Amino acid sequence: MSDKEIPNIIVGRLPLYLRSLQRMKKEDRQITSSQELGERIGISAAQIRKDLSQFGEFGKQGTGYTIDYLIKQIRRILHIDQEWDIAVIGAGDIGSAVARYKGFANRGFRVTVIFDGDPGKIGAQIGDFTVQDSAYMVDMIKKTGIRIAMIAVPAAKAQQVADQLVEAGIQAILNYAPINLNAPSNVRVQYIDPSIHLQRMTYYLE
Amino acid sequence: MSDKEIPNIIVGRLPLYLRSLQRMKKEDRQITSSQELGERIGISAAQIRKDLSQFGEFGKQGTGYTIDYLIKQIRRILHIDQEWDIAVIGAGDIGSAVARYKGFANRGFRVTVIFDGDPGKIGAQIGDFTVQDSAYMVDMIKKTGIRIAMIAVPAAKAQQVADQLVEAGIQAILNYAPINLNAPSNVRVQYIDPSIHLQRMTYYLE
DNA sequence: AGCCATTTGTGCAAATGAGCACAAACAGCG
DNA sequence: CGCTGTTTGTGCTCATTTGCACAAATGGCT
Ligand SMILES: NC(=O)c1ccc[n+]([C@@H]2O[C@H](COP(=O)([O-])OP(=O)(O)OC[C@H]3O[C@@H](n4cnc5c(N)ncnc54)[C@H](O)[C@@H]3O)[C@@H](O)[C@H]2O)c1
Ligand SMILES: NC(=O)c1ccc[n+]([C@@H]2O[C@H](COP(=O)([O-])OP(=O)(O)OC[C@H]3O[C@@H](n4cnc5c(N)ncnc54)[C@H](O)[C@@H]3O)[C@@H](O)[C@H]2O)c1
């Protein structure tokens, strides 16, 4: 393990390893190997070993990896040995689904607030949350110090919302709107767009 | 353009090009360049030109690309010069959101049926759809010849649903459940998991 | 018509990523 | 305790991917 910058592509795989490991843990497994992990995820054992070795020596020769320990290590590497608060913008279908989603628990995240601009939605109850007026969004995010946001507003409004989020100090955005966002380079942006995934598959269907 | 197999990574970028081009078209633009497209998406102009050149010569030197024409070409390459029918499995929060989603129109897809196993949900109305009993899922998919499905059931049920889908002849699965699926190699699988994307960003936050 | 500013498509080189294969380490067992 | 069967971490090689840089093509302008 050196302290050279870790390639993006390796960082991108760590969450996949983690998800599989947490699954194994749920199945009451104690130990696994790069071989088994690779088969579950569909990548080579050597690659997993090499990826992990970028960050330290977590395995034991002849035995494999202690699942609990490796989970702890990867969580530490990914900085999810804590819970990150998340703001959701847009209380429509997707925003509501995300706000009610139980799956962030134990993955390092917790939705803490949801905003919408529609007077008809402001004040409504969604799961445990009361929809907040997005007019106060920038202030509230600044005050609470939330650093991660998910955009779930129509594409036409997404850039404008992103600009506000940046102003509010948000440092990571997960964007559900099917549009590329402009953001300063110190703000991370990731995208979720089901059409993109579907189109990546139809190429292979005749 | 040769007929050698196209790398996956290139196929994966085509939908991004397409999304940006369709955006430009909406902005009433007629012509664009690899330069502009690259800036919007955040990748190099040379890469875009090289990617596209794998499939033919679509641009004009000194001018650039005619947006309409390039859209048509990419749609053809990705086999979305048609509308694919999609079955949604699971009428919970995510399944409902997807079934009501208007964004598949003009992107090559159309949800045509949604299934659920819960008697409390079967028969319910979601957008334009009546929730179908998943007991008839395999039969109905076989009969209608649907080839693409989206899984939106709890992780614990996802593999079992996937197995049924494969049996029903489904050839492409978009899985929202946070779990890796086993499927025969002739069935394409893609995943959407917001936790994964969030974790890819927290690595870069201290 | 000739010139200038653009922009494509691509050969080639550089950078990045993946995989092989093996020494070293370790557990279990007789 | 020594032997056997595993599995890790990694040096090295091979494959893939990206980027540079330029000839060729094109349109607009004088
Ligand atoms: N529903 C899906 O399955 C799905 C799938 C993929 C992508 N998306 C994308 O996610 C986004 C949301 O989709 P949806 O189906 O939930 O739409 P929706 O219309 O149900 O909800 C959008 C919400 O955003 C709110 N909004 C609009 N402008 C706002 C602003 N400036 N500030 C705060 N709130 C604002 C609206 O009031 C509305 O409640 C869209 O960009 C859509 O393309 C949705
Ligand atoms: N809600 C989100 O924002 C979100 C985000 C990411 C991932 N997910 C994942 O998507 C999946 C669905 O999430 P959700 O929030 O919609 O859950 P949900 O509990 O609201 O809905 C799940 C639905 O699946 C149905 N179901 C269960 N077993 C079934 C079966 N065998 N056949 C057909 N239907 C069946 C249930 O009756 C229920 O209606 C989960 O795997 C979840 O982890 C959800």
Partners of A115 in beta bridges: A89, A132
Cα atoms found within 13 Å of the Cα of residue A75, Cβ hemisphere only: 19
Per-residue confidence band for B206, with pLDDT thresholds at 50, 70 and 90: confident
pTM of the predicted protein model: 0.97
Calculate how far, in angstroms, residue B89's C-alpha sits from the geometric centre of ligand 2.
9
Q: Do A108 and B195 touch (CB under 8 A)?
A: yes
Q: What residues in B contact A188, CB-CB < 8 Å? A: 201, 204-205
**E strands, B117-155, in order:** 125-126, 129-130, 132-133, 148-151
Please say whether the beta carbons of B172 and B165 come within 8 A. Answer: no
**All structural domains of chain B with their residue ranges:** 3-77, 84-196
The two three-digit tokens of residue B110, written as one number = 């159309």
- pLDDT (0 to 100) of residue A19: 98
What is the C-alpha separation between B77 and B56, in angstroms, rounded?
10
Please tell me which residue of chain B has the smallest CA distance to A16.
B196
Looking at chain A, the whole-number percentage of residues with pLDDT higher than 90 is 97
Whether A184 has its CB under 8 Å from any CB of chain B: the answer is no
Q: What is the pLDDT of residues A9-58, one digit of tens each?
A: 999 999 999 999 999 999 999 999 999 999 999 999 999 999 999 999 99
Residue type, A78: L
Length of chain B: 206
Cα separations in angstroms, B39 against A151, A164, A193: 22, 22, 20
The two three-digit tokens of residue A162, written as one number = 């992103």
- pLDDT (0 to 100) of residue B1: 42
Residue type, A75: R
Residue B168: closest CA among B190, B187, B140, B133:
B140
What is the C-alpha separation between A89 and A113, in angstroms, rounded?
9
Of the candidates B108, B172, B200, which has its C-beta nearest A12's C-beta? B200
- pLDDT (0 to 100) of residue A2: 47
B60 CB neighbours strand C below 7 A: yes
Q: What residues in B contact A84, CB-CB < 8 Å? A: 198, 202, 205
A31 CB neighbours strand C below 7 A: no
Q: What is the pLDDT of residues B150-161, one digit of tens each?
A: 999 999 999 999
Tokens 């070795």 correspond to A53
Please say whether the beta carbons of B48 and B34 come within 8 A. Answer: yes
pLDDT of A1 > 50? The answer is no
Looking at chain B, the whole-number percentage of residues with pLDDT higher than 70 is 98
Q: Which residues contact B91 (CB under 8 A, 6 or more apart)?
A: B99, B114, B115, B116, B118, B121, B124, B126, B131, B152
Please compute the mean of the pLDDT values over residues B40-46 and round it to a whole number.
97
Q: Do B199 and A101 touch (CB under 8 A)?
A: no
**Coil vs helix vs strand at B173:** strand
Q: Do B14 and A79 touch (CB under 8 A)?
A: no
Q: Closest approach of chain A CAs to the CA of B136, in angstroms?
A: 24
A130 CB neighbours strand C below 7 A: no
Q: What residues in A contact B18, CB-CB < 8 Å? A: 199
- pLDDT (0 to 100) of residue B2: 47
Classify residue A185 as exposed, middle or buried by CB count within 10 Å of its CB (0-12, 13-18, 19+): exposed
Longest dimension (CA), chain A: 62
Q: Which residues contact B28 (CB under 8 A, 6 or more apart)?
A: none
What is the residue-averaged pLDDT of chain B?
97
**E strands, chain B, in order:** 31-32, 59-60, 64-66, 84-89, 109-116, 125-126, 129-130, 132-133, 148-151, 172-175, 188-191
Please determine, looking at this structure, whether the domain spanning B3-77 carries the CATH number 1.10.10.10. Answer: yes
Q: Closest residue (by CA) to atom 25 of ligand 1?
A: A90
Angle (CA) A167 A171 A176, round 5°? 95
Question: Cβ of A81: how many Cβ atoms within 10 Å?
Answer: 12
Q: Do B16 and A196 touch (CB under 8 A)?
A: yes
What is the residue-averaged pLDDT of chain A?
96
Question: Cβ of A9: how many Cβ atoms within 10 Å?
Answer: 8
Q: Domain A84-196's class?
A: alpha beta
The two three-digit tokens of residue B167, written as one number = 């049996």
Q: What is the pLDDT of residues B86-112, one digit of tens each?
A: 999 999 999 999 999 999 999 999 999
What is the C-alpha separation between A119 and A125, in angstroms, rounded?
13
**Coil vs helix vs strand at A110:** strand
- pLDDT (0 to 100) of residue B3: 55
